[in-house]
Chain A
Amino acid sequence: DAGVTQSPTHLIKTRGQQVTLRCSPKSGHDTVSWYQQALGQGPQFIFQYYEEEERQRGNFPDRFSGHQFPNYSSELNVNALLLGDSALYLCASSLVVGASEAFFGQGTRLTVV
């Protein structure tokens, strides 16, 4: 059983560019959450998707957007990249009902230069 998979694992972008990160949830999971983890800090909640809709959002600007597909996979899009967007982006999947344990992927390391 594959766990949460994210792609790509590493990415280098230039300021002002746009980036799309992808996540496939653990088999059977229907909810996907995205987190940003700066170096030396704990993950910060960006937003959560369920039934192809954004259900909750953290304190992130509109440059951060997402999407969930019918197969529950998800994308995180960041527009107009800033140097401060450099971080590890983590995807977590869970079930909306029942067990609430969230499983994390290995993350995508984004570097903005």
Chain B
Amino acid sequence: GESVGLHLPTLSVQEGDNSIINCAYSNSASDYFIWYKQESGKGPQFIIDIRSNMDKRQGQRVTVLLNKTVKHLSLQIAATQPGDSAVYFCAETPFSGGYNKLIFGAGTRLAVHP
């Protein structure tokens, strides 16, 4: 299928290393932030989320950090695997509930090399 991120910035890492993907968001009123993973030919897949009253949240091999002072979000992936290769998008939304829309960032391509 066609590539999702032909012109996106690329982060290249070695298998087993830790990856850090960064994102700057635009709306200081955003209440809820999400990281999505998108593989070629597929729709975005939810990875992890965080609310604005938190600064860190951990999942399985992933950690999201939120710095509201500088409107910065990061996704840390531990022990990166070839299956992590994809395009990663951060998204923000004003409300943690319904009647919201997701505002996506530009995306970063993660390339994992053996």
A68 on the interface (CB 8 Å rule)?
A: no
Give the contacting residue for A45; candidates B103, B106, B107; CB below 8 A: B103
Report the count of interface residues on A (CB-CB < 8 A).
34
- 9 closest Cβ pairs, A-B complex: A96-B98, A42-B104, A104-B43, A40-B7, A45-B101, A40-B6, A104-B44, A106-B43, A43-B104
B97 on the interface (CB 8 Å rule)?
A: yes
Give the contacting residue for B43; candidates A96, A101, A105; CB below 8 A: A105
Q: Considering the complex, which residues of chain B in the window 16-50 have a beta carbon less than 8 Å from any beta carbon of chain A? A: 32, 34, 36, 41-46, 49
Q: Is the CB of A101 within 8 A of B49?
A: yes
Q: Is the CB of B99 within 8 A of A44?
A: no
A78 on the interface (CB 8 Å rule)?
A: no
A40-B8, A105-B43 as given contacts; A33 in contact with B101, CB under 8 Å: yes
Q: Considering the complex, which residues of chain A in the window 30-50 have a beta carbon less than 8 Å from any beta carbon of chain B? A: 31, 33, 35, 37, 39-45, 48, 50
A76 on the interface (CB 8 Å rule)?
A: no
Q: Is the CB of B6 within 8 A of A106?
A: no
| Complex alpha-carbon distance, A75 and B93, angstroms | 23
| Complex alpha-carbon distance, A98 and B95, angstroms | 11
Closest-by-CB residue of A relative to B98 is: A96
A41-B106, A41-B107, A43-B104 as given contacts; A106 in contact with B41, CB under 8 Å: yes
Residue numbers in B under 8 Å from A45 (CB-CB) = 101-103
Give the contacting residue for A90; candidates B34, B44, B100, B106; CB below 8 A: B44
Give the contacting residue for A96; candidates B32, B44, B99, B107; CB below 8 A: B99
Q: Is the CB of B7 within 8 A of A33?
A: no
Residue numbers in A under 8 Å from B91 (CB-CB) = 42
Q: What are 22 A-B pairs with beta-carbon distances under 8 A?
A: A33-B102, A40-B7, A42-B89, A43-B104, A44-B104, A45-B101, A48-B101, A50-B99, A56-B99, A88-B4, A92-B43, A92-B102, A97-B97, A100-B32, A100-B97, A102-B34, A102-B46, A103-B46, A104-B43, A104-B44, A104-B45, A106-B43
